Structure 1
Amino acid sequence: MKDIRNKILGSVDKLFERKQFKSLKELLITMEPADIAEILSEKNFTERVFIFRLLPKDLAIEVFEFLEGTIREELLASFTDSEAASIIEDMSDDDRTALFDELPAKTVKKLLARLSPEERRLANTLLNYPPDSAGHIMTPEFVDLKEDMSSSEALARIRQSAAKKETIYTLFVVDPARKLMGTVHLEDLILASVDVAVKDLMDALPVFVSTDTDQEEAAKTMSKYDLQTIPVVDREHRLVGILTFDDILDIVQDEATEDFERMAGISPVDERYMEAGVFTLTRKRFTWLLVCIVTQVFSSSILENYSFALESVVALAFFIPLLIDTGGNTGTQSATLVIRGLTTGEIEREDIYRVLSKELVLGLFLGGALGILASFRAWIMGTGYGLAMTVAVSVVGVVMLGNLVGALMPFIAQKFRIDPAVMSGPFITTVVDVIGLLIYFEVARCFLGLG
């Protein structure tokens, strides 16, 4: 596949260099919009604009929807107002809303003014929902049916309106007040007798979400029930839009990226890495690093208070990196598993005691195995029985502590309505480092008879 793509890219470059624009246009028409968008993203601004203008309007709109934020903004800036409005007018409503979220308010206002009254009304409606809600990302482009329609009448309505709709594989049955009554699959309509009523084919208890449902919760619902499309209703249970699987894929990808960044101690970055400025990345990464520096004051204080132990047994210092690294890593592992469980719904808030019990047992087994290896390392260094036992017991204690802290922190975050991913690796590592040092020196005091 990669070889085919490189061959096509080479053909595009060759035709562009030779100024064979008619042949280039014919080649682009045969390509998938996502592939064209990928090629455009690798071109410089001038070439990108020129190639984009070669595309027929319908294909250009599809390609535009696949492009990333800053590239779309650059293209819009190169268009006249009428050209920009023409593209924005024919974009799908959910993609247009996503674009408006990325653009400056002044640009959005100007583009909205160029839309037709109907499209402007739809755009304003979607923009007025909370940013992370199902209502904000839904599309009103769906096929609605009436209960008393026959299957042949329903199919006729589908043929009439299908070209302008997001999907036709799932149809939505509404009453005269537009309240959602059920859903029916296109396959069932096609296979049914021509005089069978829609109400006899529909699912009268459809799964749905509300306009104010969080988009991540909507994604979980679609995944749970294995749906390609889910209806979105308002407070009066009126059908106002739908979410499709491509919307949900974008949500899942964005949420996963955001969680990974938070767990690494990075504030979410809106731009792609190559497009983000150095100062932006510095600001996003600085906060947690600053917290780590500040909290290391506690570690320094502990080392200062137990300096008598280090002076008495210098070899104690050899195993400090081993302890804090082991404790921090086990804490991060536990936090990752628990955060994933909370995110997918596999773990509920009521499971906290079961989770903590499991992590304690895991910590005992992991710590025991690692403690034996660490004590063996201390023994072959000739540090003596006492220090070997100190290291072994400390490793067990620190690993169990790391598991407990890593498992507990996401629950605490959820309790205070904070994203569990905020309890990131750097935060957990710092907590475990401080308490782990206390455990190490107190165990050393017991086994080595210090102070």
Structure 2
Amino acid sequence: MEEHIVSCNTFDDQEDVAKLFAKYDIDVLPVVNNDNCLIGIITSDDIIDVMEAEVTEDIQKMAAIRPVEGSYLEASVFEMAKSRVPWLLILMLSATFTGMILQNFEDKLLIIPALTAFVPMIMGSSGNAGNQSAVMVIRSMAINEITMKDFLKVLFKELQIAVICGAALFAVAMIRILIFPPHVTLEIALIISATLFLSVVISKLLGAGLPFVSLVFKQDPAATTTPVLTTIIDVVALLIYFQLCVIFLGL
């Protein structure tokens, strides 16, 4: 019987090599060239630094920062700024859509000014909910717990989680709105709470789904999901909020 020997090629990505150590629970990995000739070995001690670097890179990408070589203190100020500016500019420009929505409903907000006070809470809660799902899915993808074939399974699971989280926020928001200022009518309190519920559910589904979309387009989910998700969630949350206000308050 021919025994299968786990090895890596000299041109393999270091992240793929790290996954081999984790998958097969090995201490030493042979390195071969294209002719399948042994040219060296990698030990588990060697791979620890690689795994640490890959995790650091993924965290930087999820924060919309281009990965920077070396440690934080060693990197130059200009290099650090250059790694952050591109996505900050993109997010700033994409926030234009949020401003357009607010401007479109500006006259309606003047009728009931108290509605404006709850916009930060709605947008913040929706963004946090979406990021929670995105981080969980992206990390699970990174360690091969989730693949493309698990898309529907992940989406259904996140839907269940989203309904529970949304219901909890609905209940707490109702109590908070009715007890603490600015005081509003029961109808407005219901609209705000319903917006939170719907926004959280949609945000979590988006957070779970966008990493898979990134894979379809052969992009790194860690690098593309979070910045895009932030913009989409802000727009969706505001549209839900103002449309409910228009429908039920007749604004």
**Common fold by TM > 0.5:** yes
Q: Are positions 1:415 and 2:216 aligned together?
A: yes
Distance 2:52 2:220 in 1: 16
Name the structure, 1 or 2, with higher relative contact order (CA <8 Å, separation 6+): 2
Where structure 1 has 5 or more consecutive residues not aligned to the other structure, the ranges are 1-180, 183-203
Give the number of the structure whose alpha-carbon radius of gyration is greater: 1
Alignment partner for residue 200 of structure 2, among 383, 399, 402? Answer: 399
Distance 2:250 2:174 in 1: 18
1:155-166 equivalent positions in 2, closer than 5 A: none
Partner SS for 2:21: helix
1:343-362 equivalent positions in 2, closer than 5 A: 343-362=142-161
Match of 1:327 in 2: 126
Distance 2:115 2:240 in 1: 13
Distance 1:425 1:205 in 2: 40
Question: Cα distance, 1:269 vs. partner?
Answer: 1.0
Where structure 2 has 5 or more consecutive residues not aligned to the other structure, the ranges are none
Q: How many aligned residue pairs are there?
A: 249
Match of 1:188 in 2: none
Q: Are positions 1:342 and 2:141 aligned together?
A: yes
Question: Cα distance, 1:431 vs. partner?
Answer: 1.5
Post-superposition CA distance 1:196-240 (Å, at most 9, x none): xxxxxxxx3222223332221111111111101111223333222
Q: Are positions 1:291 and 2:90 aligned together?
A: yes
Distance 1:223 1:271 in 2: 24
Post-superposition CA distance 1:64-109 (Å, at most 9, x none): xxxxxxxxxxxxxxxxxxxxxxxxxxxxxxxxxxxxxxxxxxxxxx
Question: Cα distance, 1:261 vs. partner?
Answer: 0.6
Match of 1:190 in 2: none
Question: Cα distance, 1:447 vs. partner?
Answer: 2.1
1:3-402 equivalent positions in 2, closer than 5 A: 204-380=3-179, 381=181, 382-402=183-203
Partner SS for 2:4: coil
Q: TM-score scaled to structure 2, two decimals?
A: 0.94
The range that moved more, 408-417 or 424-433, is: 424-433
Post-superposition CA distance 1:345-382 (Å, at most 9, x none): 11111101111111112111101101111122222233
Partner SS for 1:274: coil
Match of 2:244 in 1: 443
Contact 2:211 2:225 in 1 (8 A): no
Distance 1:300 1:342 in 2: 34
Contact 1:262 1:424 in 2 (8 A): no
Q: Which letter maps to 1:422?
A: A
Question: Cα distance, 1:424 vs. partner?
Answer: 4.8
Q: Which letter maps to 2:110?
A: E
Q: TM-score scaled to structure 1, two decimals?
A: 0.53
Contact 2:210 2:225 in 1 (8 A): no
Contact 1:331 1:406 in 2 (8 A): yes
Q: Which letter maps to 2:198?
A: G
Distance 1:370 1:423 in 2: 28
Question: Cα distance, 1:441 vs. partner?
Answer: 0.6
Distance 2:73 2:185 in 1: 53
Distance 1:280 1:359 in 2: 38
Runs of at least 4 residues off by over 6 Å = none
Match of 2:230 in 1: 429
